[in-house]
Structure 1
Amino acid sequence: MRNRIFISLAMALLLLFTAAGSVGASTVTYDPSLAHKTGKMAYEHTKYLTYTVGARVAGTAKEEEARDYIESQFQRMGYSTNVQPFSYTRSGRNYNSSNVVAYKKGKSSKEIIVGAHYDSVAAGKGSDDNASGVGVMLEVAEVLKHINTPYSIKFIAFGAEEVGLRGSNYYASQMPAEEIENTVGMINLDSLAVGDNMYVYGSAGDKGFIRDQILNIAAKKKLDIGTNPGLNPVYPAGTTGDWSDHAPFNRLGIPYAYFEATNWEIGDMDGYTQTVKHGGVWHTQNDTLEFIEREFPGRVEEHLETFSQALTEVLKFFGKTSTAK
């Protein structure tokens, strides 16, 4: 009798652990209809990274959890996905992180990179910086998965951005000359949710054509996206600083565009002061969906919808002189 009870308990425990393991390893799924409502899927991804994962400090288990979620979402969409591990040293300690790369074949073998970092600082939950950017990237990847885009696309979720652009620096350092030559541009998504104004920046001079095409799309689609007005002479109109994941690609001579929500007309007029009402939200305890939605009702949804539409449109028509009406 005791043996039978023991065996029954053992089997029950085995089933329990097996079930728990399968749930933990399973891919999070969403109602497919969300992909047809601009900004809705981006919001769900932002919520997941905010509430289920939380702060995703570089080199920690939480950053790995976010990486696994992003990889599983690309795989759910049917993309060929690769995890690119790298290590770095900071303050005398060694850390490990990864980039997640998903590839979409287009009409041309020439490639455009779309990137967003998925790590965050310890303060807050990284909802704006940068769950919002990852959310938009994942939504657009899903919207475009069955669309024959003009160029092939590499969607890259960068690790360890907050500790020195480690992921994007590593990826750029590993690009052979042929890949650099084959890359027509890079579009960076960083901190899209809370800033007073929505912007797109770009390379200086003739290489700013991606930014210019996005501004053209925004005008035709009546999207409220502008660019740095150039009030601070350190950052000429239309450009920005080298503080995000576009910088390593810019140094390679690859044209870039960079989506961001902030406010270039307040503070030191350098883009660091995001809002009139609360100043900077990124890198503070206020970088949570709860705070942003309480203090700026409707802003998150509006921004995710706007940026998702703009990114989708430029990737659908990239390189063409006109866009769909």
Structure 2
Amino acid sequence: MKSRIVISLLLTFSLLFTVFGSVSASTVTYHPSLAHKTGKMAYEHTKYLTYTIGPRVAGTEKEAEARDYIISQFERMGYTANIQPFSYTRGGVTYQSSNVIAYKKGKSSKEIIVGAHYDSVSAGKGSDDNASGVAVMLEAAEVLKKIPTPYSIKFVAFGAEEVGLRGSNFYAGQMTEEEIENTAGMINLDSLAVGDYMYVYGSPGDKGFIRDQVLNIAQKKKLDIGTNPGLNPEYPAGTTGDWSDHAPFHRLGIPYAYFEATNWTLGNMDGYTQTEKHGGVWHTSNDTLEFIEREFPGRVEEHLTTFSQALTEVLKFFGKTSTAK
């Protein structure tokens, strides 16, 4: 009987390992003071995802390692981290990935989703795309842990974005009509570290109130954040394309804001050419902290600090000066 129990437990563990991957035995800890210095904790998360984990290709052990790091960080902060596993087929092969969700209760049961994808392509180390976005999300989650917020917040780390927005599509596809109605907005964080300029975009028309609130905060706090100037008529001023994790929520009619660093004045003026000096950095071997910090000294720290402050502020006051209900 004991041997059967042992075999059963081993089979169960094997199945869990196959579905979820390994779970880190220890949690990486940071000095508590970093959470009180804007951008500092985000920089540490960016470094860890860059140097300790490296490229986090969707469906691989490295993506699972990044997921486990995010889980451990949410739990270190005092959140309960829930895993939303999903599978997808690409090129006739089925892959496993997952989203990580941490919930912060606010004064209202209405929710805002804050998301960033944690996978990367194989080129480079994914420092900009998208360790930077995950890092800013994690910093905001830690800063806001004990601060009352007007809305409840779901922090979501999406898997498998680079292979077709798989994680965000799956998350949005599982939302009920009630959940959609209860979601006041979605904020997407993608590629924040290297672009020449810092931007926030938003939904077209009167649903762009989250973007507008961020721009108001940036003006009051003297943060160097602007928006798409609309030089390319295919992307009207203040908006962007549906190529990142905001897109599935936009299709559901949920208002979005999207933080990104790039340069809309270059190339086809479509936001894909990030820098005047080196063109696009994402999806290239140059997407490493070493390259970015050598070629653009101080930029990573400046961007992480600015975006972290903007995100934290908008979550602290979300809806108070907007048309959100």
TM value normalised by structure 1: 0.92
> Residue by residue, what CA displacement relative to the aligned partner does 1:96-141 show, whole Å, maximum 9, x if unpaired?
0000000000000000000000000000000000000000000000
* Aligned-CA RMSD value: 0.9
Counterpart position of 2:128: 128
Q: How does 1:98-177 map to 2 (within 5 A)?
A: 98-177=98-177
TM value normalised by structure 2: 0.92
Alignment of 1:73 with 2:69, yes or no, is: no
Which residue identity does 1:277 align to in structure 2?
Answer: K
Contact 2:24 2:68 in 1 (8 A): no
Which residue identity does 2:221 align to in structure 1?
Answer: K
Alpha-carbon distance, 1:259 to partner: 0.1
Alpha-carbon distance, 1:81 to partner: 1.4
Alignment of 1:274 with 2:274, yes or no, is: yes
Counterpart position of 1:209: 209
CA distance in 2, matches of 1:24, 1:279: 37
Alpha-carbon distance, 1:263 to partner: 0.1
Alpha-carbon distance, 1:24 to partner: 5.2
Counterpart position of 2:197: 197
> Residue by residue, what CA displacement relative to the aligned partner does 1:125-161 show, whole Å, maximum 9, x if unpaired?
0000000000000000000000010000000000000
CA distance in 2, matches of 1:109, 1:79: 17
CA distance in 2, matches of 1:257, 1:268: 23
CA distance in 2, matches of 1:256, 1:79: 24
Alignment of 1:85 with 2:85, yes or no, is: yes
> Residue by residue, what CA displacement relative to the aligned partner does 1:27-71 show, whole Å, maximum 9, x if unpaired?
000000000000000000000000000000000000000000000
Which residue identity does 2:122 align to in structure 1?
Answer: A
CA distance in 1, matches of 2:93, 2:87: 10
Q: How many residues align structurally? A: 300
Counterpart position of 2:36: 36
Counterpart position of 1:232: 232
Which residue identity does 2:149 align to in structure 1?
Answer: T
Counterpart position of 1:307: 307
Which residue identity does 1:313 align to in structure 2?
Answer: E
Q: How does 1:219-298 map to 2 (within 5 A)?
A: 219-298=219-298
CA distance in 1, matches of 2:321, 2:56: 40
Counterpart position of 1:218: 218
Which residue identity does 2:303 align to in structure 1?
Answer: H
Alignment of 1:63 with 2:56, yes or no, is: no
CA distance in 1, matches of 2:294, 2:81: 37
> Residue by residue, what CA displacement relative to the aligned partner does 1:190-243 show, whole Å, maximum 9, x if unpaired?
000000000000000000000000000000000000000000000000000000
| Paired residue secondary structure (1:128) | helix
Contact 2:292 2:300 in 1 (8 A): yes
CA distance in 1, matches of 2:89, 2:158: 17
| Paired residue secondary structure (1:139) | helix
Structure 1 residue ranges, 4+ long, deviating more than 6 angstroms after superposition: none
> Residue by residue, what CA displacement relative to the aligned partner does 1:261-302 show, whole Å, maximum 9, x if unpaired?
000001000000000000000000000000000000000000
Alpha-carbon distance, 1:80 to partner: 1.9
| Paired residue secondary structure (1:133) | helix
CA distance in 1, matches of 2:39, 2:317: 20
Which residue identity does 2:167 align to in structure 1?
Answer: G
| Paired residue secondary structure (1:140) | helix
Which residue identity does 2:319 align to in structure 1?
Answer: G
Counterpart position of 2:47: 47
CA distance in 2, matches of 1:256, 1:174: 18
CA distance in 1, matches of 2:285, 2:133: 19
| Paired residue secondary structure (1:25) | coil
Which residue identity does 1:215 align to in structure 2?
Answer: L
Alpha-carbon distance, 1:169 to partner: 0.1
| Paired residue secondary structure (2:208) | helix
Q: Rg larger in 1 or in 2?
A: 1
Which residue identity does 1:191 align to in structure 2?
Answer: S
Which residue identity does 1:124 align to in structure 2?
Answer: G
CA distance in 2, matches of 1:171, 1:220: 34
CA distance in 2, matches of 1:80, 1:49: 21
